[in-house]
Chain A
């Protein structure tokens, strides 16, 4: 006779997927775009990336230690790594080191741990940090380096990169410029029309990521591929990305058709800024997005609408961060009103009527 332990309830078997695996798969999906972006912007970008991710891990460990718990198992779940990674992807690649450290601190401490840690936060930590940085340090957060790939002659070398990251850039104008969206916004304010503004714009280069911006804004192609892989791997569902992208496309098409000189085309919208990164990686964050498929459609559409509104009429050229944060705050409301119908009950929770024969 065998004697075994205390009562355990079913299910006794489980799907082969843990929190750690999910986090690592998201990171894997991000890595092609990350690697390409790091190559495009060279050593300074790599410095900032490493600083941001390391400090995110440090702040997470610090908070866990404050709670008197062992930090290692919590760090191993990969969530802090992912937060740091996503934050690094939204920063200007040549930003000074302290931007990364402050951003990680904001993301991990203010964005996540004060709410109670993993799964408890209301806002996406990476977006919270990015928006806080953007408002606090507008100069550093809008200084966009030119594409200067590793091992190219005009690109900064390793030693120079240390100087850029830790002491700042000496000759700003030679190495930096505006992002596509920023440029358009500035030119609109000079009363120029799109046909003039977009003369130098190359959709192909922007598509593969050969343009100014953060790592998460650079390569539309690689980010979209990573996102589609995540959907195929069933880490995320199609609802949020499709609803978000479709909303932006539809709105942009309508306005562009109505006035093609003052409203940028849907292709430029989809192809620029953090559109793909937000649609596939940020807005789909489990913790801060709704639970039901319908709720996710509403959430995605809301994000799309806000991005379009902020980009078109707002003060900032890119509105993805704000849009996601605003919709994050609406998530509890969406979850409250949009819930699945319980079997055998109507939407209000009353038992169904027995159909009369």
Chain B
């Protein structure tokens, strides 16, 4: 009975129709035909964009460094295949706006020839710092979609002496099953990656958390982890957004991460299973992150599948390979249907963050016929962050952004639960994204007006100084003239 009054282990959340079975039951397709041209954005991660170090026309090998990371939080970019650099210029980014971003364009030569890679015989002999260095050099970022540079996280984990590493195998987004398949087929490699991460962070234990709708993945991971007492594999309830790091940390460890802090400050670091797999490849074989497994699914997809594609492949080529019917496609989504971004067209490249590409038909989409809010408060009860979306949206609708911030706009994680559940089809998340952007823009405007004022004052004081100086010079000149005249008069008088 007492447990009734303690903090609930899962807050809010929804259970959406999964649509996972169709892709989760087939093996990952590895024979994706090598595209003729790859478009590799210089920024595929949180932080500063990478700086290119190749020249147009240069021959590169697969895995060769194309752009190095600059700054503390950044990640390098490598050649996904061998070939010639065609261009380094602005091309449409895989983003809802499809605005241009700097990319390296690589024309493949079809040989797919690897650079000679530095394999490590026994990585556990390496110093922990060395592990992070190598992970950083391989361009690995959080492959769950957050794309935070993994090396930075490993370093933070080591510096904060964290006690638990959580491996996120929740994959709570509907439709997506790439992590599920990866765990089913490559569990040994993932567990090896987890061990390497533990070594790199000098952490005692790892917990692999898998939603209970993936029993095969769970069994495979359990079998692979059996030999390693440091690694436990557990099942967690299937409920979106279980894969939200804070929700998972809360469920697995009972800890709550304060607003404005990182999870490492409460002794936990969280990595995705895909990241662990990439770490394994980077340390054992020296392979940088040049390809990823992604789910292609949705009602308009003829052959839904999980497929391993080179980074930089255009979405149109992936869709052609999977038989997407363009006429039926009502919306293209990169990522999952809850948090993913709708893309305006398919001429955009896949990047490190692309966990899924969905081509949804109109019948799969949420109705857009917006009705008045009936205050049913479903959004309040599903919000995992404990916000009141309906009140926030009402404030934003009448442009009271400050009021929306006061009741928690900045704590919104855009998980989409409120939009999903809303019976009135109110685009709540879009209201919050708009308001967050507007608040940021206003802060910038405020900053600019202060700067303008400073510049103005500086200019005015400068102009005054110049005027003062001119006045002084003028006075000196007049004084000199008077002096001269006086002297002249004196001379005349004396003569």
Question: Which A residues are within 8 Å of any B CB, using their own CB?
Answer: 1-15, 17-19, 21-22, 77, 79, 117-120, 237, 286-287, 290-293, 335, 339-345, 349, 351-355, 357
Answer whether residue B433 sits at the interface, using C-beta atoms and an 8 A cutoff: yes
Rounded to whole angstroms, the CA-CA distance of A79 and B375 in the bound complex is 13
CA distance A19 to B424 in the complex (A): 6
Q: Is B103 an interface residue (CB 8 A)?
A: no
Query: A295–B360 Cα gap in the complex (Å)?
Result: 39
Distance of A283 from chain B, by nearest CB (Å): 14
A21 to B267, CA, bound (A): 46
Task: State A4–B255 Cα separation when bound (angstroms).
Answer: 43
In contact, B261 and A10 (Cβ under 8 angstroms): no
Chain B contact-residue range equals: 35 or more
Q: Interface 1/0s, chain B 251-285, versus A by CB < 8 A?
A: 00001111111000111000000000000000000
17 more A-B residue pairs beyond the given contacts A8-B342, A12-B333, A14-B366, with a C-beta to C-beta distance below 8 A: A2-B326, A4-B342, A7-B97, A9-B433, A10-B416, A11-B338, A12-B337, A12-B358, A13-B17, A286-B375, A291-B391, A293-B381, A342-B385, A342-B408, A343-B256, A345-B258, A351-B258
B96 within 8 A of A: yes
Q: Which of B357-410 contact A (CB under 8 A)?
A: 358, 360, 364-367, 371-377, 380-381, 383-388, 390-391, 407-408
> Do the beta carbons of A354 and B266 come within 8 Å of each other?
yes
A287 CA to B366 CA in the complex, in Å?
A: 23
Output the nearest chain B residue to A293 by Cβ-Cβ distance: B381
Complex interface: chain B residues within 8 A of A344 (CB)? 246, 256-261, 411
Stretch of B24-32, B74-82, B344-352 with 4 or more beta carbons under 8 angstroms from chain A: B344-352
Cross-chain contact B337 with A345 (CB below 8 angstroms)? no
CA distance A103 to B11 in the complex (A): 43
Decide if A13 touches B96 in the complex (CB within 8 Å).
no
A11 touches B390 (CB 8 A): no
A-B contact pairs, 17 of them (CB 8 A): A5-B344, A7-B97, A7-B341, A9-B427, A10-B339, A11-B429, A13-B174, A13-B364, A13-B420, A14-B425, A15-B14, A120-B372, A291-B377, A340-B388, A352-B256, A354-B265, A354-B266
- Residue of B whose beta carbon sits closest to that of A346: B258
In the assembled complex, B430 has its CB within 8 A of some CB on chain A: yes
B386–A12 contact, CB under 8 A?
no
Distance between B115 CB and nearest chain A CB, rounded to angstroms: 32
A287 contacts B375, C-beta separation under 8 Å: yes
A4 in complex: contacting residue of B267, B331, B364, B425, CB < 8 Å: B331
In Å, the complex CA distance between A1 and B92 comes to: 13
Known A-B contacts A12-B365, A342-B387; the reply to A354 vs B258 at CB < 8 A is: yes
Q: Which of A5, A10, A22, A292 contacts B414 (CB 8 A)?
A: A10
Complex CA–CA separation, A1 to B343 (angstroms): 12
B419 interface hit (Cβ, 8 Å):
yes
Residues of B within 8 A of A341 (CB): 386
Let me know if A345 and B338 touch, CB within 8 A. Answer: no
Question: CB distance B376 to A7 under 8 Å?
Answer: no
- B387–A4 CB distance below 8 A: no
CA distance A15 to B16 in the complex (A): 7
Q: A13 contacts B367, CB within 8 Å?
A: no
- What is the CA–CA distance of A274 and B388 in the complex, to the nearest angstrom? 32
Among B257, B259, B267, B340, the most chain A Cβ lie within 10 Å of the Cβ of B259
Q: Please give the distance in Å from B243's CB to the nearest CB on chain A.
A: 14
Bound CA–CA A4/B327 (angstroms)? 11
Tell me whether B316 is interfacial, beta carbon within 8 Å.
yes
Contact call B376/A292, Cβ cutoff below 8 A: no
What secondary structure prevails in chain A residues at the interface with B?
Answer: loop
Cβ-defined contact, B258 with A352, below 8 A: yes
Cβ of A4 and Cβ of B259 under 8 Å apart? Answer: no
Nearest chain A residue, comparing its CB with the CB of B15: A15
CA distance A275 to B315 in the complex (A): 60
CA distance A79 to B390 in the complex (A): 19
Cβ 8 A contact of A339, one of B266, B366, B388: B388
A354–B261 CB distance below 8 A:
yes
Contact, CB under 8 Å: B421 / A291: no
> For the complex, what is the distance from the CA of A15 to the CA of B366, rounded to whole Å?
8
CB neighbours (8 Å) of A7 from chain B are 96-97, 341-342, 344
Are B385 and A8 in contact (CB-based, < 8 A)?
A: no
Does B318 reach chain A (CB closer than 8 Å)?
no
Measured in the bound complex, the distance between the Cα atoms of B138 and A342 in whole Å is: 38
Pair A291/B375 contact, Cβ less than 8 Å: yes
Chain B residues proximal to chain A, CB less than 8 Å: 11, 14, 16-17, 96-97, 174, 246, 255-261, 265-267, 316, 326, 329-333, 337-347, 358, 360, 364-367, 371-377, 380-381, 383-388, 390-391, 407-408, 411, 414, 416-417, 419-425, 427, 429-430, 433
Tell me the complex Cα distance, A5–B420, Å.
20
Whether A13 contacts B331 by the Cβ 8 Å rule is no
Complex Cα spacing A67 to B386, Å:
37
B391 shortest CB reach to chain A, Å: 8
Complex alpha-carbon distance, A223 and B259, angstroms? 46
If A19-B371, A344-B259 touch, does A1 touch B347 (CB 8 Å cutoff)? yes
Q: Are the CB atoms of A11 and B386 closer together than 8 Å?
A: no
CB distance from A305 to the nearest CB of B (A): 22
From B373, B376, B408, B416, give the contact of A22 (CB < 8 A): B376
Given A2-B332, A18-B425, A118-B372, A13–B16 Cβ distance below 8 Å?
Answer: yes
Q: Is the CB of B360 within 8 A of A12?
A: yes
Q: Which of A13, A286, A287 contacts B337 (CB 8 A)?
A: A13
Query: A218 to B155, alpha carbons, bound, how many Å?
Result: 70
- Indicate whether A14 sits within 8 Å of B419 (C-beta atoms), given known contacts A1-B316, A8-B342, A286-B374: yes
* A residues near B331, Cβ cutoff 8 Å: 4, 8, 12
Residues in B whose Cβ lies below 8 Å from that of A19 = 371, 374, 423-424
Q: Chain B residue with minimal CB distance to A11?
A: B416
The chain A residue sitting closest to B360, CB to CB, is: A12
Known A10-B340, A13-B364, A15-B14; judge A292-B380 contact (CB<8 A): yes
CA distance A13 to B240 in the complex (A): 13
Q: Determine the chain B residues whose CB is within 8 A of the CB of A352 once the complex forms.
A: 256, 258-259
Residues of A within 8 A of B419 (CB): 9-11, 14
Shortest Cβ-Cβ A-B pairs, 10 listed: A14-B366, A11-B416, A9-B430, A7-B96, A352-B258, A344-B259, A291-B377, A340-B386, A11-B420, A10-B416
How far is it, in angstroms, between the C-alpha of A354 and the C-alpha of B264 when the chains are bound? 11
Residue among B259, B375, B427 with the highest chain A CB neighbour number at 10 A: B375
Contact B11 A14 (CB under 8 A): no
Q: Closest residue to B379 on the A side, CB-wise?
A: A291
B195 CB, min distance to chain A CBs, angstroms:
25
Also in contact, A4 and B332, with CB within 8 A (given A119-B375, A292-B377, A343-B386): yes
CA distance A287 to B367 in the complex (A): 22
**Complex interface: chain B residues within 8 A of A353 (CB):** 258
Q: Which residue of B lies closest to A120 (CB)?
A: B372
**Considering only CB atoms, which chain B residue lies closest to A292 in the complex?**
B380
CA distance A286 to B267 in the complex (A): 42
B360 and A343 contacting across the interface, CB-CB below 8 Å? no
User: Could you tell me the distance between the alpha carbons of A3 and B343 in the complex, rounded to whole angstroms?
Assistant: 9
Residues of B within 8 A of A351 (CB): 258-261
Taking CB atoms, residues of chain A closer than 8 Å to B408 are 342, 349
Q: Provide the residues of chain B in CB contact with A3, threshold 8 Å.
A: 344-345
Q: Is the CB of B377 within 8 A of A286?
A: yes
Contact A117 B372 (CB under 8 A): yes
The smallest C-beta distance from A331 to any residue of chain B, in angstroms, reads 9
- What residue of chain A has the Cβ atom nearest to residue B419's Cβ? A11
Selected from A5, A21, A340, A345, the residue in CB contact (under 8 A) with B259 is: A345
Q: What residue of chain B has the Cβ atom nearest to residue A2's Cβ?
A: B326
A291 with B256, Cβ < 8 A, contacts A4-B331, A12-B333 known: no
